[in-house]
Amino acid sequence: MAGIAEKSGETVRATGAHLLVVTARFNAPIVDCLRTGALAAIEAAGARATVIEVPGSLEIPAATVIALDAAERAGAPYDGVVALGCVVRGDTYHFEIVSDVSARALMDISVMRALPLGNGILTVENETQAKIRCDILQGDKGGEAALAALTLVALKRGLA
């Protein structure tokens, strides 16, 4: 069926889907790497993306809601969202706050709006872990987040 994603291994087709990709600028080199993987997966699926940037991972949920509402008002809603950021553990409790609050808020948005969402916010111990997880040849967590969102887009379309 045209326009419905088909998953075969790691290949997803979601022709015509429009995803919102929200990226944090904090830890920019890692997030840029995640974005590369996510956009490649979205393109391979036959979908398209609009990318917006925010200062950090804590701002991703609010920016997501703002962008979703604006797209709805414009009559061009998004089919799904991919959130991309990187939180590296430091010496304070801030790591847990950012990690927990951003993940909880994204899950709340996804469930309350029946919104396909791929959470690609890395939560790592150090920069080495982040580099491995973002690298499209090693971890490709950006691509995996996009595939998660696209798979849920397919499910939503298939059940509609």
Q: Map out the domains of the chain with their CATH numbers.
A: 12-154 (3.40.50.960)
Tell me whether strands 7-8 and 11-12 are parallel, antiparallel or unpaired: antiparallel
Residue 138, H or E segment: none
Q: What is the CA radius of gyration of the chain?
A: 15
Per-residue pLDDT 10s for the chain (160 aa) are: 333 333 345 567 788 999 999 999 999 999 999 999 999 999 999 999 999 999 999 999 999 999 999 999 999 999 999 999 999 998 787 888 999 999 999 999 999 999 999 999 999 999 999 999 999 999 999 999 999 999 999 999 988 7
- pTM, two decimals, is 0.91
Alpha-carbon distance values, 2 to 50, 79, 81, 141, 146 (Å): 22, 15, 21, 27, 20
Catalytic residue numbers, as ranges: 94
